Amino acid sequence: MSVDIQLAPVIHFEPGAQSFKPSRGGNLAASALRAGSLLAFVAILFVFSLTAPYFLSVGNIGNVLGQSAISGILAIGLTVVLIAGGSNVVTGGIDLSLAANMGLSAAVYATTVQLGYGDAAAVAAALVTGFLIGVVNAAAVVGAGIVPLLATLAVMNIVAGLELVLTQNTVIPASTPLLTALSSSGPLGIPALAYVLLVFTLIAAAIVQYTPAGLRLYAVGEFPDAARAAGLPVRRLVASAFIASGLCGGFAGVLSVSNLSGSTTGSGEMLLPVVVTALLGSVFSRRLVPTVIGTLLSTLFVGFLVNGFQLLNISSVLVSGVQGLLILLVVSATTLLRRQEA
């Protein structure tokens, strides 16, 4: 960096005139929304812990983390695409192939193991699968110029079909040292998957939130013209977001095998919950944008909800309703706040 502008300060506004006015409506409203969401999160934890004493024990928290690992990693993958694609879900960033990607990667992993290969080869195969799916998405969106909603929809169909072809719609059992380790418990009796989720989130957050590349992804998604004006390779950045998302799908695939001791069908069911989770995550960020940590919080929010309902013997079917209501509340609040500002 050579930012050497060394000039004597010359001009100053009269004192006070230039001081930044913090009473800007937008900022306040955003803070209120974020505080409200966090408060709701804490309140729900509190209510559950009152009614179910076991709820806030280390063991239970670990369980929730472990159970949220797969959806959390998928949601983080989607978050990257949302960041680079912008807030308009129809024309901007969305990856509908993520859940199917996880299913196929899991099937590839289990099949590779069945063929007698070791963990390393199987993990590599799963990750390559995810990577290739990401490349196809990137080519379709950036190369052919298909809107992401349609491109990833078509890819989703293909991938889900390939999974069926590979598995013949059956469970492919798999048991390897890695899977055993993943499904065991780690320190403090907390599931290993919980640690995997935390470490993965940390790494993802470090890349997305703390590197120049991450910053550029935000610029590309929110204001492509500004990104272009700053000389950023917009197309390459968007493509890399889809590829990153594909890799997340591959990784989640490996984890899902450990969770279920084999590859199973029905991964497509996870798609829409993951979409909602990733979209909800933005309320946990100061700037109301998708962030890795925000997505983690949103994943855990849903995880605790499911867990609490189970502990209280409430049907967990309410979870999807609560998620739906939340997203409508959040989006209504932001829309109305923005309208008031304008």
Sign of torsion, CA 252 121 262 101? positive
d(Cα 28, Cα 30) in Å, to the nearest integer?
5
The answer to whether 342 contacts other proteins (rule: CB under 8 A) is: no
Tokens of 98: 């993520």
DSSP letter at 139 equals I
The answer to whether 104 contacts other proteins (rule: CB under 8 A) is: no
Write out the binding residues for other proteins, residues 110-139 only, by CB under 8 A. Answer: none
The answer to whether 144 contacts other proteins (rule: CB under 8 A) is: yes
The answer to whether 39 contacts other proteins (rule: CB under 8 A) is: no
DSSP letter at 87 equals S
The answer to whether 43 contacts other proteins (rule: CB under 8 A) is: no
* Minimal distance, residue 278 CB to other proteins, in Å: 11
Q: Of 124 and 153, which has the nearer Cβ to other proteins?
A: 153
d(Cα 68, Cα 178) in Å, to the nearest integer?
19
Instruction: Report angle CA 319, 201, 269 to the nearest 5 degrees.
Output: 35
* Minimal distance, residue 5 CB to other proteins, in Å: 6
Write out the binding residues for other proteins, residues 268-287 only, by CB under 8 A. Answer: 272, 275-276, 279, 287
H helix or E strand, kind and range, residue 43: helix 25-51
Of 169, 157, 133, 171, the closest CA to residue 252 belongs to 133
Q: Of 7 and 116, which has the nearer Cβ to other proteins?
A: 7
Looking up tokens 């195969």 gives: 125
Pattern 174-213, binding to other proteins, x per CB under 8 A?
Answer: --------------------------------x---xxx-
* Minimal distance, residue 306 CB to other proteins, in Å: 13
Q: Could you say which of 182, 227, 238, 248 contacts other proteins (CB under 8 A)? A: 227
What number of CA atoms fall less than 13 Å from residue 195's CA on the CB side? 12
Sign of torsion, CA 83 88 92 93? positive
Q: Could you say which of 232, 278, 297, 305 contacts other proteins (CB under 8 A)? A: 232
**Number of residues forming the site for other proteins (CB under 8 A):** 85
Sign of torsion, CA 262 266 269 275? positive
Q: Could you say which of 53, 118, 189, 324 contacts other proteins (CB under 8 A)? A: 324
Tokens of 117: 């290969």
d(Cα 299, Cα 253) in Å, to the nearest integer?
17
Contact criterion met (CB below 8 Å) for 224 and 74: no
Q: Could you say which of 116, 177, 187, 231 contacts other proteins (CB under 8 A)? A: 231
Q: Of 90 and 116, which has the nearer Cβ to other proteins?
A: 90
The answer to whether 336 contacts other proteins (rule: CB under 8 A) is: yes
- Contact stretch for other proteins (CB under 8 A) within 110-118, 120-128, 256-264, 321-329: 321-329
Write out the binding residues for other proteins, residues 64-103 only, by CB under 8 A. Answer: 88-90, 96
At 46, which amino acid appears?
Answer: F
* Minimal distance, residue 28 CB to other proteins, in Å: 10
Q: Could you say which of 56, 150, 198, 311 contacts other proteins (CB under 8 A)? A: 150
Write out the binding residues for other proteins, residues 234-273 only, by CB under 8 A. Answer: 272
Q: Could you say which of 101, 240, 267, 323 contacts other proteins (CB under 8 A)? A: 323
Of 293, 283, 322, 292, the closest CA to residue 29 belongs to 283
Q: How far is CA 161 from CA 101, 123, 158, 164, in A?
A: 11, 21, 5, 5
* Minimal distance, residue 90 CB to other proteins, in Å: 5
Please, what is the end-to-end C-alpha distance for the chain in angstroms? Answer: 38
Q: Could you say which of 12, 116, 177, 187 contacts other proteins (CB under 8 A)? A: 12
The answer to whether 158 contacts other proteins (rule: CB under 8 A) is: yes
The answer to whether 306 contacts other proteins (rule: CB under 8 A) is: no
